[in-house]
Homo-oligomer: A and B are copies of this chain.
Amino acid sequence: MTRTDYFDEPGAPAATSVVPSVVAIVQDDRGRILLIHRTDNDLWALPGGGHEIGESIAGTVVREVKEETGYDVEVLALTGIYTNPRHVMAYDDGEVRQQFSIAFRCRLVGGQGRTSPESRAVSWIDPDELDALAMHPSMRLRIAHAMDDSRTTAHIG
């Protein structure tokens, strides 16, 4: 399945659904950030995905990180909520989802890195190297908010 992001674009298709989703900001003991190279849009991104009926939101985070990276994490804090109605994602089955993403800082507790059908690469990236990667601006923003120690409350946007 391919996915196209529209961000503040006048010609974007109208949203047809809202599915709460999560991203996880996980750092290793050297401060590197866990990223995946997505198969659906060829961009680097934080691991994450959609909430499913029957699970808590922390359960979604743990499941998605495991599925996409092989690592086990524990949720520490909610660092931001991103619900810009002018950011929509169009899928090739016709669904157009309005952004509804919640970001969580997590702690690595186990597992072994491996790729998945959703992630062609799973890498620990030094924060200084982020600029060199192809990444959606909204993803860079979530990383910046999660790593900003001066913040005392979650970003609301």
Contacts and interface: CB of A to CB of B under 8 A. Distances in A.
A156 B78 contact: yes
Size bracket of the A interface? 20 to 34
Copies of this chain, count: 2
Contact of A85 (B16, B53, B102, B156): B53
Main secondary structure of the interface of A (DSSP, over half): loop
A154 B75 CA distance: 12
Contacts of A81: 57, 78, 102
Contacts of A119: none
Interface of A: 15-18, 20, 51, 53-59, 75, 77-78, 81, 83-85, 98, 100, 102, 104, 152-154, 156-157
